[in-house]
């Protein structure tokens, strides 16, 4: 079966290549990306990891920075290639994720056409995850790699399972999404591996727990994770933490593709550990849309298996090579195009910095990160969990257009907000501020 699987994976690999190439063509820089480069720059400048957000004036003392390596990586990319470096990192993360998924599908003996279909379905179901650059790109790359390691050990137990703890340790230094990976590894170890090898499984579990705190913050990493999970963004279900909604076009797309994928995965009768993980991730996805990608990536392999085992090759080697020129061309075009980003243009942001005269600026998350990356002081921004809970809630209220959030305006003289958003509509009727400038993406206000 393995030989047949290896000889019939051309479509699956082409689908993975098209997914990465589509990211190069359609990817853009989103919120929760540039702040990593700004903190990384501060680490390099100070020669140590700061315990407060260096570009914001709202109190953030006592912040424990666990994923500092991820911030240094973003800083290096920004210094070397600017925004194009961040986009290339996203393309690489998508490529690693889909390649790991393709390998997992091949080892599972899934049919080539089914494998290609689920790869494309996963990308289409959560385009905002695959095509928008965020800090989550590290988790996007590493989650499928971990899942492939666990499934490979379930099929053919070997010492390769010991790759999981160092992978999780690396992940912990890059992004807080490592908690999802550690939970998946723990589920596999407890529900599947412990029965046949209890002693080594206990050692693996200890290593997994140790990996979560193998960061510059040490045991304080626990405080970092607690702050992320208990922050105002998660508690109030704001932004990516919002539950799946029948009133959102993207959420409807996720449901329309993800639900059949989950049903097919359950039809294939996965082992107990996968079943528990799928049910848990489904519940998490309903609660927070940002978790849907983990459900889709885990469900892809059992969903493809529901359509039977691999048979003879669908495409000849020559056909695969010829078809591969298409994603290569797409990658080249993507590398040459201007990098898209939402928010205000550079001219407007420079005008905001001049109008502020060194005072902090209040801005929406995208523009706040762009200002911070350019060395301009902001009042508050990502990572939001680093600030006092009251300030977090006030900022989120302001972003929602809630009158309770207007108290954040007392701290600033200059405001940049997305054009047509709730904060902009409220500021337009606020007599204490006047419009100074605007462009296609944002509006600049100054205090009268």
pLDDT band at 342 (very low <50, low <70, confident <90, very high): confident
Summarize the confidence of residues 106-122 as an average pLDDT. Answer: 94
pLDDT at 328: 87
pLDDT band at 336 (very low <50, low <70, confident <90, very high): confident
pTM assigned to the model: 0.93
Question: Which pairs with CB-CB distance under 8 Å and at least 24 residues apart come from 334-338?
Answer: 334/21, 334/23, 334/24, 334/25, 334/27, 334/87, 334/91, 335/24, 335/84, 335/88, 337/25
pLDDT at 8: 59
Q: Which residues of 426-448 are buried (b: 16+ CB within 10 A; e: fewer)?
A: bbeebeebeebbebebbbbbbee
Query: By three-state DSSP, how is residue 223 classified?
Result: helix
Q: Identify whether 19 is preceded by a cis peptide bond (ω within 30 of 0).
A: no
Residues facing residue 417 across a β-bridge? 443
- Backbone φ, ψ for residue 340 (5° rounding): -80, 145
Q: Which residues of 407-418 are buried (b: 16+ CB within 10 A; e: fewer)?
A: ebbeebbbbbbb
- pLDDT tens per residue across span 216-249: 999 999 999 999 999 999 999 998 899 999 999 9
Residue 25 has pLDDT above 60, yes or no: yes
Residue 314 has pLDDT above 90, yes or no: no
**% residues pLDDT > 70 (the chain):** 96
Residue 339 has pLDDT above 60, yes or no: yes
pLDDT at 10: 86
CA distance 357 to 352: 9
Query: By three-state DSSP, how is residue 53 classified?
Result: coil
Residue 264 has pLDDT above 80, yes or no: yes
Enumerate residues 6+ apart whose C-beta is below 8 A from 40: 68, 71, 72, 73, 74, 75, 76, 78
Summarize the confidence of residues 43-72 as an average pLDDT. Answer: 96
Summarize the confidence of residues 113-137 as an average pLDDT. Answer: 95
Summarize the confidence of residues 393-415 as an average pLDDT. Answer: 95
Is there a contact between 100 and 145 (Cβ–Cβ < 8 Å)?
A: yes
Q: Which helix (H) or strand (E) holds 341?
A: strand 340-341
Q: Which helix (H) or strand (E) holds 363?
A: strand 361-363
């Amino acid at each position: 079966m393995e030989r047949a699987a290896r000889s019939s994976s051309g479509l699956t690999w082409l689908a993975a290549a098209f997914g990465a190439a589509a990211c190069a063509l359609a990817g853009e820089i989103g919120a929760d990306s540039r702040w990593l480069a700004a903190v990384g720059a501060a680490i390099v400048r100070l020669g140590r990891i700061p315990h407060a957000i260096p570009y914001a004036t709202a109190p953030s003392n006592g912040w424990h920075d666990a994923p500092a390596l991820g911030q240094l990586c973003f800083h290096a990319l920004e210094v070397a290639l600017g925004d194009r470096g961040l986009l290339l990192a996203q393309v690489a993360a998508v490529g690693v994720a889909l390649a790991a998924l393709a390998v997992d599908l091949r080892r599972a003996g899934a049919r080539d056409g089914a494998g290609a279909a689920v790869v494309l379905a996963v990308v289409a179901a959560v385009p905002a995850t695959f095509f928008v650059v965020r800090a989550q790109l590290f988790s996007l790359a590493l989650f499928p790699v971990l899942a492939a390691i666990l499934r490979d050990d379930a099929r053919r137990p070997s010492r390769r399972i010991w790759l999981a703890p160092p992978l999780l340790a690396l992940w912990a230094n890059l992004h807080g999404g490592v908690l999802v990976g550690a939970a998946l590894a723990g589920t596999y170890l407890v529900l599947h591996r412990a029965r046949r090898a209890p002693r080594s499984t206990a050692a693996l579990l200890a290593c997994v727990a140790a990996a979560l705190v193998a960061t510059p913050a040490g045991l304080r990493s626990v405080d970092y994770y607690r702050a992320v999970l208990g922050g105002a963004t998660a508690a109030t279900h704001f932004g990516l933490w919002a539950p799946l909604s029948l009133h959102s076009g993207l959420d409807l797309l996720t449901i329309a593709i993800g639900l059949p994928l989950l049903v097919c995965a359950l039809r294939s009768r996965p082992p107990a550990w996968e079943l528990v993980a799928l049910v848990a991730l489904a519940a998490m996805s309903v609660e927070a849309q940002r978790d849907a990608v983990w459900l889709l990536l885990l469900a892809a392999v059992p969903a493809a298996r529901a359509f039977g085992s691999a048979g003879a090759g669908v495409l000849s080697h020559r056909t695969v090579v010829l078809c591969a020129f298409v994603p290569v061309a797409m990658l080249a075009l993507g590398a040459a195009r201007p990098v898209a980003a939402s928010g205000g243009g550079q001219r407007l942001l420079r005008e905001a910095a001049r109008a502020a005269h060194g005072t902090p600026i209040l801005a929406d998350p995208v523009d706040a990160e762009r200002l911070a990356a350019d060395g301009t002081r902001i009042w508050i921004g990502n990572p939001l969990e680093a600030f006092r809970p009251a300030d977090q809630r006030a900022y989120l209220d302001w972003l929602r257009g809630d009158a309770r959030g207007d108290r954040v305006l007392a701290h600033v003289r200059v405001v940049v907000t997305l054009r047509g958003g709730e904060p902009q509509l409220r500021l337009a009727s606020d007599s204490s501020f006047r419009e100074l400038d605007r462009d296609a993406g944002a509006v600049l206000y100054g205090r009268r």
